[in-house]
Amino acid sequence: MRLAANIIDIWTYQKRASGSEFLLLHTSEQKARKFFNGGRFWQIPSGCVHEDESVTIAISRILASFDLNPRKIWAAEHAYIIYNRRFEEMQAISVYAAEVSGEEARLDAEEHSESAWLPLTSCLERVHFRGLKDGARSVQEYITGVSEPAAELCLFSAEEA
């Protein structure tokens, strides 16, 4: 069995007056029927880092597919391993956080049927995979839930680019 170690989850967020809100994506019926026995679920932007690109370039590429631009990219100090039945492989998934600009996420109808910007507590109620829940908690602990995130975890800042 193959182990893919280049998979990333991106807890994508926007700062609001009321606090951070995170982007959740609901799987389409087509994707659910094809890969997950009809089971639909909420997820976050994710993808793979190609051989010739950095993590920050991969995150920017993935978010661009949703018409979102990262203002800051953070290492979330969390990783987990799953069996991904869609790709029939074990995956080691590293978790990152990206603060973005842009209100609406453009969706690929074959992949996702709807999106929502939600506070962390609502995200934790909607996602049901342990890796996603633990990743969200790590993002909260190190990045969005503290007044000053650790500078060493910031991998990219548009303000400094």
Contact 120, 13 (CB under 8 A): no
**Per the structure block, which two tokens stand in for 27?**
């799987």
What is d(CA 26, CA 44) in angstroms, rounded to the nearest whole number?
9
Q: Which fold has domain 3-157?
A: Nucleoside Triphosphate Pyrophosphohydrolase (3.90.79)
- Residue 90: per-residue pLDDT: 97
Beta bridge partners of 95: 9
Q: CB neighbours (10 Å) of residue 7?
A: 20
- Residue 31: per-residue pLDDT: 92
Give the pLDDT of the chain (161 residues) as one tens digit per residue: 899 999 999 999 999 988 999 999 999 999 999 888 899 999 999 999 999 999 999 999 999 999 999 999 999 999 999 999 889 999 999 999 999 986 789 999 999 999 999 999 999 999 999 999 999 999 999 999 999 999 999 999 998 86
Reference 100, options 32, 2, 17, 15; nearest CA is 15
- Residue 161: per-residue pLDDT: 65
Residue the block writes with tokens 């700062």 = 15
What is d(CA 101, CA 104) in angstroms, rounded to the nearest whole number?
9
Residue type, 41: F
Phi, psi of 121 (to 5 degrees): -60, -40
- Residue 1: per-residue pLDDT: 86
Q: pTM for this one?
A: 0.95
CA within 13 Å, CB half, 75: 10
- Residue 98: per-residue pLDDT: 98
